[in-house]
A and B are shown apart, each in its own frame.
Chain A
Amino acid sequence: MEGLQLLLSGFAAALSLQNLLFAFAGCILGTLIGVLPGLGPAAGTAILIPLTFHLDATGAIIMLAAIYYGAMYGGTITSVLINVPGEAASVVTCLDGYQMAQQGRAGTALGIAAIGSFVGGVFAAVALAIVALPLARFALAFGPPEFFSLMFVGLCLVTGLAGQSLIAALLMTILGLLLSLVGIDPVRGAPRFTFGVPELYDGLGFVPVVMGLFGVAEILLIIETPFRRMGDTKIKGLWPSREEWKRSSGAIGRGTLIGFLLGLIPGVGAVIPTFMAYIVEKRLSKHPEMFGKGAIEGVASPETANNAYANGAMVPLLVLGVPSSPTIAILMGAFIINGLTPGPFLFKDRPDLVWTVIASFFTGNVILLILNLPFVGLWAKLLKMPYQYLCAGTLLFCIVGAYSLKGTVFDVGVMLVFGVIGYFLRKLGMPLAPAVLALILGPFMEKSLRTSLEMSAGDFSIFLTRPISATLMACAVLVIAVAAFQVAALKSIRTAETK
């Protein structure tokens, strides 16, 4: 009941003209990022952080969250129309969405994707509102050992699910953690790895590093291999037929559940829920042979899961302070820039902000539905924009964003250095997600670890003698063991195939 009251007060604030405008602007910018191929939600959110500098914390978070789920919506349009996913989570939508477009059903594919995304987003927001308060209250009992173990599990999940080499993912995690430790030691106040450079006393800025790794690196890759431009695909008949509704409704329901539940697990990322939703739908279908040939369920289910995931992933961030993906880590960075630390204490200290942001997920999803159904043709026209202008504009935004953080050229330099590093890492296929999550969680992890060890006079068993911490540590070990087993199994399958 208390949760409902808080949510209603959140709605009162979220429905104010100012916050509606922030959500609206965020949805438009997010959809734009999603529509433009190559520029994913992580890069887009990082690049657009400076736009929120002059806003109050609530407005800034509302706008950035709207950019995030707007980008998840927008990615569908390119998947359906030109078979190029606007962001990674829309990859699976290409399979049937593009086939539908080839059959002259692009409008229906985009329509069901928008409706499914709306249903998934709203359901996930309702579920978030229901589970947030009890979970936050439970997490209030956490001390430093529990928080360390929780962040450790989060990093293990991200690492375990990151790619085909567990060691490579671990290396990226360690690199992210080490980079996060540059600057003044949070416990003793001693400078570390600063080499007398005053700009490094505050540490490497999270935003310039992420802008470099995702924004600049992405643009360098696009410049090397420009993407295709859209042909003249006609978009008509957005509303699905009765038969298509019948086939899609179950898919939307299942996609919602899969997306939301997987959003609760840190490290899963947006791609796995969409593929899982697609596979489940194919298994349950009476006509699995139609999948890949324009089955509407093949669009409805992953697109729903995609958006349910986007909203579900806010649960670990808001309630536990653990981001699930690079984009959510960037959102966490935005909280920190605004002087806020996501986690259970945020529900205690700033309930007004938390519930307004949660309520804004509802208004944002309504705005996105309006933007995506009647105006889908306008978004599609953006695909005709030459990539050269997109690249120049994005790089300009990166410079503005990095410079305006502290008003120094140093951060622009950091961004460019990490742009080059990101370019090579992506060329090699090194997983970036663990590095980004480690970069944001590093200082919190170190502080929790050292405070825990001070509590126990240096005895590491403190992490195993407290029940919650011990359970979380057991989960972490399990996650790494399962990931190692999967890598080994994959390797033996490949060896057998080669033979």
Chain B
Amino acid sequence: MKRGWQVALVALVATFAFFAFESFQLSLRDALGPGPGFFPFWLGMLGVVLAAILLTQLHLDRVDLGTEALVFDRAGVRNAVLVLVGLIVATALLDVVGFRLSVLLLIPYLLVILGVRNWVAIGICAVAGSFGVFHVFFDLLKVPLSAGIFGF
């Protein structure tokens, strides 16, 4: 758990420092008062200081941020990563092949990754999730969804 917190805090220090640096490029004050960089600059600086304090406390074992170990179930994480990859690919395809086709591919992929082997159920879910959801949102609820280059 401690290592996880250390990594997270270093990432936060970097993020806050980046925001502070970028804000400093904007004006902190102008003729009318505080400029666009004022609020984010001071927030970023405060964030860097606080994250550094917590990091130091953690290093010196002066703070208890939970005693449980950061547990990752290997098979579970593999499934989560595969699901995430599927989502990224489907997102990339969304504007290209359209919502219906990308979801028609995504749903069976997700269900198989998660261990479903009932192909009839997978087929029904894929059609309902792609064409069914598109019909409900696009046609009935008038919510814009991508039709893709094929137009369907």
Contact = CB atoms under 8 A, between A and B. Distances in A.
* A, B bound: yes
Interface of A: 50-51, 53-54, 164-165, 167-168, 170-171, 174-175, 177-178, 181, 185, 187-188, 190, 192-193, 216, 219-220, 223-225, 386-389, 391-393, 395-396, 399-400, 403-404, 407, 409, 412-413, 416, 419-420, 423-425, 427-430, 445-446, 449-450, 453-454, 457-458, 491, 494
A167 B50 contact: yes
A54 B137 CA distance: 10
17 contacts: A53-B141, A54-B141, A54-B143, A164-B66, A167-B54, A175-B12, A177-B43, A181-B39, A192-B23, A193-B19, A219-B83, A220-B83, A388-B115, A396-B129, A404-B143, A409-B95, A416-B87
Contacts of A420: 84
Interface of B: 1, 4-5, 8-9, 12, 15-16, 19, 22-23, 26, 29-30, 32-40, 43-44, 46-47, 50-51, 53-54, 57, 63-66, 70, 72-73, 76-77, 79-80, 83-84, 87-88, 90-92, 94-95, 99, 103, 106-107, 110-111, 114-116, 121, 125, 129, 133, 137, 141-146
Contact of A430 (B8, B73, B80, B83): B8
A392 B63 contact: no
Contacts of B84: 220, 416, 419-420
Given A403-B146, A416-B91, A427-B4, A181 B65 contact: no
Given A223-B114, A454-B32, A165 B65 contact: yes
Contact of B94 (A391, A412, A425, A494): A412
A49 to B, nearest CB: 11
Contacts of A399: 87, 90-91, 94, 103
B70 A453 contact: no
Nearest to A402: B91
A164 B73 CA distance: 25
Contact of A174 (B16, B36, B76): B16
Given A174-B46, A192-B23, 11 more contacts: A174-B43, A188-B30, A220-B84, A386-B116, A396-B106, A396-B107, A399-B94, A409-B146, A424-B4, A428-B66, A494-B64
B53 A190 contact: no
A367 B141 CA distance: 24
Nearest to A413: B91
A367 to B, nearest CB: 21
Nearest to A185: B36
A329 to B, nearest CB: 19
Contacts of B38: 450
Contact of A389 (B34, B83, B125): B125
A170 B47 CA distance: 8
Contacts of A171: 9, 12, 47, 50-51, 54
Given A165-B54, A389-B125, A223 B83 contact: yes
A224 B72 contact: yes
Contact of B39 (A223, A427, A446, A454): A446
B37 to A, nearest CB: 8
Sort A-B residue pairs by CB-CB distance and give the 9 closest, nearest first.
A224-B76, A388-B114, A185-B36, A454-B33, A174-B47, A407-B144, A404-B143, A392-B110, A190-B36
A428 B65 CA distance: 9
